[in-house]
Structure 1
Amino acid sequence: MKLTRFAQLGAVAAVAALALAGCSSGSTAGSSAAPSSSSSAASDEVAATIDTSGTGTLTAGGSSAQGNAQNAWISAYKAQVAGVTVNYDQSQGSGGGVTNFLSGAYDFAGSDSPLKADQTEQSQALCEGGINIPVYLDGVSIIYNVEGVTDLKLSGATIAKIFNLQITDWSDPAITADNGTALPAGAITTVVRSDGSGTTQNFTNYLAAAQTTDWPYPAANAWPVTGNVSAQKGGSGVVNTVTSGANTIGYADHSAIGDLSSVAIIQDGTPIEFSPDAVAATFTAAAVDASNGVTGDLSKKFDYSKLTAETYPIPLASYAVVCSTFKDADQAALTKSYLSFVTSTDGQAIAAKNAGSAPLPTEILEAAQESIAAIK
Structure 2
Amino acid sequence: MTFSKKAKALVIAGLIAVSSATPAHAVDLQGSGASFVDPLLQACKAGFAKTSSNSYVYTSTGSGTGKKNADAKIGDFWFSDSAHTATTKRSTVYHAPIIAAPVAVLVNLPAKKDVYLSATTVAKIFSGDITKWNDPAIVADNNRSISTTVYKKDAQGNALKDASGKPVVLRTGTKSVIYTLPNQPIKVIFRADGSGTSNNFTSWLNGVAPTVWTKKGNDAFTTAFPGNINASGNIGRIVGANQSQGIATLAAKTKYSITYAEKNWGDAYGLRAASISNAAGNFVYPDSGAVSAFLGEANQDANGIVTYDYGTKVAGAYTLGIVSYMLIETEYADKARGAAVKALAEYILSPACSAVDPKLGYVVVSGTFLTKANALIAKMNK
**TM bucket, shorter chain:** 0.7 to 0.9
Residue in 2 that maps onto 1:240? 249
- Structure 1 residues 64 and 304: alpha-carbon distance in aligned structure 2, compared to 1, 3 A threshold: same
Of the structure 1 ranges 156-165 and 261-270, higher mean CA displacement relative to structure 2 is found in 261-270
Q: Secondary structure at the match of 1:123?
A: coil
- 5 Å-filtered alignment, 1:347-358, equals 347-350=353-356, 353=358, 355-358=360-363
Work out whether 1:67 is the aligned partner of 2:79. Answer: no
- 5 Å-filtered alignment, 1:151-166, equals 151-166=114-129
Deviations 1:18-68 (A, max 9, x none): xxxxxxxxxxxxxxxxxxxxxxxxxxxxxxxxxx76312211111111111
Q: 1:273 aligns with which of 285, 298, 308?
A: 285
Instruction: Find the aligned partners of 1:232 and 1:194 in 2 and give their Cα distance.
Output: 5
Work out whether 1:97 is the aligned partner of 2:66. Answer: yes
**Contact 2:97–2:305 (Cα < 8 Å) also in 1:** yes
TM-score between both structures, scaled by the size of structure 2: 0.77
**Contact 1:145–1:242 (Cα < 8 Å) also in 2:** yes
**Contact 1:72–1:354 (Cα < 8 Å) also in 2:** no
Shift of 1:365: 2.5
Residue in 2 that maps onto 1:371? 376
Shift of 1:344: 2.4
Instruction: Find the aligned partners of 1:238 and 1:161 in 2 and give their Cα distance.
Output: 20
Instruction: Find the aligned partners of 1:332 and 1:140 in 2 and give their Cα distance.
Output: 31
Residue in 2 that maps onto 1:204? 202
Residue in 2 that maps onto 1:25? none
**Contact 2:350–2:364 (Cα < 8 Å) also in 1:** no
Of the structure 1 ranges 97-106 and 143-152, higher mean CA displacement relative to structure 2 is found in 143-152
Q: Secondary structure at the match of 2:304?
A: coil
Q: Which amino acid aligns with 1:277?
A: G
Identity among equivalent positions (%) equals: 26
Instruction: Find the aligned partners of 1:135 and 1:141 in 2 and give their Cα distance.
Output: 19
Deviations 1:170-201 (A, max 9, x none): 11111111111541200110000000111111
Residue in 1 that maps onto 2:299? 288
| RMSD of aligned residue pairs (Cα, Å) | 1.8
Gaps of 5+ in 1: 1-51, 292-296
Shift of 1:164: 0.2
Q: 1:327 aligns with which of 326, 333, 336?
A: 333
Instruction: Find the aligned partners of 2:29 and 2:313 in 1 and give their Cα distance.
Output: 38
Instruction: Find the aligned partners of 1:333 and 1:363 in 2 and give their Cα distance.
Output: 24
Q: Secondary structure at the match of 2:194?
A: coil
Q: Hey, which of these two has a bigger chunk of helix by percent?
A: 1
**Structure index of larger Rg:** 2
Q: Secondary structure at the match of 2:355?
A: helix
Q: 2:344 aligns with which of 330, 338, 347?
A: 338
TM-score between both structures, scaled by the size of structure 1: 0.79
- 5 Å-filtered alignment, 1:76-95, equals 76-82=47-53, 84-90=54-60, 92-95=61-64
Q: Secondary structure at the match of 1:158?
A: helix
Q: Secondary structure at the match of 1:88?
A: strand
Of the structure 1 ranges 322-331 and 235-244, higher mean CA displacement relative to structure 2 is found in 322-331
Work out whether 1:256 is the aligned partner of 2:227. Answer: no
- 5 Å-filtered alignment, 1:119-198, equals 119=88, 122-124=89-91, 129-180=92-143, 181-198=179-196
Shift of 1:349: 2.5
Q: Which has the higher contact order (CA 8 A, sep 6+)?
A: 1
Q: Which amino acid aligns with 1:235?
A: S
- Structure 1 residues 313 and 365: alpha-carbon distance in aligned structure 2, compared to 1, 3 A threshold: closer
Instruction: Find the aligned partners of 1:68 and 1:191 in 2 and give their Cα distance.
Output: 21
Instruction: Find the aligned partners of 1:281 and 1:343 in 2 and give their Cα distance.
Output: 18
Residue in 2 that maps onto 1:24? none
Instruction: Find the aligned partners of 1:53 and 1:158 in 2 and give their Cα distance.
Output: 57
Q: Which amino acid aligns with 1:60?
A: G
Gaps of 5+ in 2: 1-22, 144-178
Instruction: Find the aligned partners of 1:141 and 1:339 in 2 and give their Cα distance.
Output: 25
**Contact 1:135–1:342 (Cα < 8 Å) also in 2:** yes
**Contact 2:52–2:343 (Cα < 8 Å) also in 1:** no
Shift of 1:307: 4.4
Instruction: Find the aligned partners of 2:323 and 2:347 in 1 and give their Cα distance.
Output: 18
- Structure 1 residues 307 and 358: alpha-carbon distance in aligned structure 2, compared to 1, 3 A threshold: farther
Q: Secondary structure at the match of 2:277?
A: strand
Instruction: Find the aligned partners of 2:264 and 2:108 in 1 and give their Cα distance.
Output: 17
**Contact 1:348–1:359 (Cα < 8 Å) also in 2:** yes
**Contact 2:40–2:353 (Cα < 8 Å) also in 1:** no
Q: Which amino acid aligns with 2:292?
A: A
**Contact 2:205–2:213 (Cα < 8 Å) also in 1:** yes
Q: Which amino acid aligns with 2:239?
A: S
Shift of 1:115: 1.4
Shift of 1:274: 0.8
- Structure 1 residues 203 and 104: alpha-carbon distance in aligned structure 2, compared to 1, 3 A threshold: same
Instruction: Find the aligned partners of 1:344 and 1:99 in 2 and give their Cα distance.
Output: 27
**Contact 2:349–2:364 (Cα < 8 Å) also in 1:** no
Instruction: Find the aligned partners of 2:246 and 2:114 in 1 and give their Cα distance.
Output: 23
- Structure 1 residues 234 and 324: alpha-carbon distance in aligned structure 2, compared to 1, 3 A threshold: same
